[in-house]
Structure 1
């Protein structure tokens, strides 16, 4: 087992346009059709800090499941606080207003339900168990989408049963694949192997997988994870960094919110199915691959081009994706290319690397077992 992990902010790289991916995704045009209104996305992470760039009306009160330390059993940890800024960044990627250097959220009309865990603290190993509580809470409180831009091995059985419960209530769950793509194993986040969840990889604006993006059989979709505004300097400012698969997952969640907002009568299976069908197909000609899954999310295909067949409301699209015409390549961050073997050497200084923030625990045989278990719901 491993301790919980998230991205760690490192010095900013090149000064690039942080909103370029929104232009490529035709966000302004999509927002004329749907902006996420009526959809709640639960962000289970390190909390959210009330900062410039986040409108108070976009963020719900939320809840914290952080356990207080033994020496201070009465110490409160409000959900609207964030030690490391990771949860704040994910929230802004979904509903940010673009002011003060913040991201402009892809689904600005949606609501974010912040659910705070011990991510970013010395007790980070407890965060997966806390996340299990958060998943159940989100499902009971009306969230349609759950965003898990975190990874780890601790308490996977609890999280798995909680996700199954959420799915029984019609909730769609997105999970970051991780940022350990330079490992021979692919470094895939074990949470992504839980049946029915959508593992999200990261690509750049050309559709190439980021060298840091973890990969494997659990990858289902991809989204932009390059240079974006993230919280930095101990969550006191916005800096331009690589967002990695954490940010990509937030964009996948926001994409689902846009589609669901336009089609509120659809089920989670139907929303997921059209995201798969309209994703930018891998340019190697395969239906899917281990680096981008079925391809980069393209909600514009659903909202603007009216593409995709929602299909049966109760049929899991991961178990049997509906056949559709292969999408044509496009110049947005969803036309994906095969991962190159030497890609890990193509970029240095990659941020959001998912180092363990709690006590590291040695790998066991559970690694191989978890990764190769068939991950589709039966």
Structure 2
């Protein structure tokens, strides 16, 4: 049986209240989204959300979501059963979609890249057959790569289908797709990271709090590349019947990282996945101790405004993985001259993210991700 985990926490959610003091922090204001959207809003970029599907709900315009596909395997006793990609019994995929392209109505979040398109790729996450979601996800990744996705968002992980997923991710990368994967919510005392985040070229995303400090629950390691907001947010709850306020987790953080990439790519459509990744890494708000990166938050919080508004970041070589180790006979690459050296102090007060936990959905269980963590070692630039 496969082990599939999704990185958010609806268990602590509450139905959207009327009281303003119960609203989640306005991370879009911190990220200067309104100014960003005057430069680029994600138009022309398709983000595939390989997840539990998408349900048409208040807060997400239908024109922002493509037809997509369902890769759910039907039950043996119902071999002809069909599943619509525009259905979602868990609400997880719907939440990720809203975080990227939501319109902010009906109690839902405003998406960070409202001009982008989301391609829903539905797996059995949240269903009794969720043990099959890993293998289905591998199918979904290949489908997305073959049908125009520039970015693939994986806000979950699976151990037992890892080899299939690894092959699928490599296939997507061969097609020029940029892949983001949530780090996980094992955190302190039981740090089991997401194997997908360890793969070369995959951007592993962690979560930080409002003060840009790493969350205790956030899984971490050398595979952590970037971080984003992941705490109190508007998420789908009550079997995807309404919006609630709850910790969004690294699932939500990953969706925001994907949306940030969509903004950058929308402004620079001639860039490759490597170049988009490179400028996001170079312009991230780094650790507060002044180090270039650490295992808790990676290179820091995503800051697309640095690229779009400050014109920072050097896209560099189009065919070179920005996280690949530097050749031993050449100096280690440094940030571009346009990058602000004081990013750590800024990160403590600006871009931030919040706590999260792994959530069990149906047959999904929060265990097992770290079992093979020592079998692969993700490459690092420094």
Query: What's the TM-score once normalised by structure 2's chain length?
Result: 0.89
Is residue 279 of structure 1 aligned with residue 284 of structure 2? yes
- Contact 1:210–1:225 (CA under 8 A) maintained in structure 2: no
Q: Deviations over 1:251-289 (max 9, x none)?
A: 000000000000011111000000000000111222111
CA 365–159 in structure 1, closer or farther in 2 if over 3 Å, else same:
closer
1:166 counterpart residue number = 172
- Distance in 1 (CA, whole Å) between partners of 2:194 and 2:105 is 32
2:91 counterpart residue number = 85
- Distance in 1 (CA, whole Å) between partners of 2:147 and 2:97 is 18
Is residue 269 of structure 1 aligned with residue 274 of structure 2? yes
- Contact 2:101–2:111 (CA under 8 A) maintained in structure 1: yes
Among 147, 166, 172, the residue aligned to 2:153: 147
Q: Deviations over 1:342-378 (max 9, x none)?
A: xxxxx9xx764233742769859952433x523469x
- Contact 2:227–2:302 (CA under 8 A) maintained in structure 1: yes
2:11 counterpart residue number = 10
- Contact 1:107–1:258 (CA under 8 A) maintained in structure 2: yes
- Contact 1:149–1:249 (CA under 8 A) maintained in structure 2: yes
Tell which deviates more after alignment, 63-72 or 350-359.
Answer: 350-359
1:323 counterpart residue number = 334
- Contact 1:10–1:351 (CA under 8 A) maintained in structure 2: no
Among 288, 300, 307, the residue aligned to 2:305: 300
- Contact 1:19–1:104 (CA under 8 A) maintained in structure 2: no
CA 327–117 in structure 1, closer or farther in 2 if over 3 Å, else same:
farther
Among 343, 351, 359, the residue aligned to 1:333: 351
1:374 counterpart residue number = 378
Is residue 59 of structure 1 aligned with residue 59 of structure 2? no
CA 26–117 in structure 1, closer or farther in 2 if over 3 Å, else same:
same
- Distance in 2 (CA, whole Å) between partners of 1:359 and 1:100 is 29
Tell which deviates more after alignment, 322-331 or 355-364.
Answer: 355-364
Q: Deviations over 1:310-355 (max 9, x none)?
A: 0011110011584115343322125x9xxxxxxxxxx9xx764233
- Contact 1:196–1:376 (CA under 8 A) maintained in structure 2: no
- Give the alignment of 1:64-143 within 5 angstroms: 64-143=70-149
Q: Deviations over 1:4-40 (max 9, x none)?
A: 0113411337954335100000000000000000000
By how many angstroms is 1:105 displaced?
0.1
2:50 counterpart residue number = 44
Is residue 225 of structure 1 aligned with residue 230 of structure 2? yes
Among 237, 242, 256, the residue aligned to 1:237: 242
Number of positions where the alignment pairs a residue of Structure 1 with one of Structure 2: 362
1:341 counterpart residue number = none
- Distance in 1 (CA, whole Å) between partners of 2:370 and 2:225 is 25
CA 156–289 in structure 1, closer or farther in 2 if over 3 Å, else same:
same
- Contact 2:125–2:364 (CA under 8 A) maintained in structure 1: no
Q: Deviations over 1:48-71 (max 9, x none)?
A: 000000101000000000011111
- Distance in 2 (CA, whole Å) between partners of 1:320 and 1:194 is 14
CA 300–109 in structure 1, closer or farther in 2 if over 3 Å, else same:
same
- Distance in 2 (CA, whole Å) between partners of 1:72 and 1:296 is 46
- Contact 1:222–1:252 (CA under 8 A) maintained in structure 2: yes
- Distance in 2 (CA, whole Å) between partners of 1:46 and 1:230 is 14
Consecutive unaligned residues of structure 1, counting only runs of 5 or more, are: 337-346
| Cα root mean square deviation, aligned | 2.3
1:210 counterpart residue number = 215
- Distance in 2 (CA, whole Å) between partners of 1:156 and 1:64 is 20
- Contact 2:360–2:366 (CA under 8 A) maintained in structure 1: no
Q: Deviations over 1:117-176 (max 9, x none)?
A: 011112212111111111111111110000000112121111111111111111000000
CA 362–318 in structure 1, closer or farther in 2 if over 3 Å, else same:
closer
- Contact 1:195–1:376 (CA under 8 A) maintained in structure 2: no
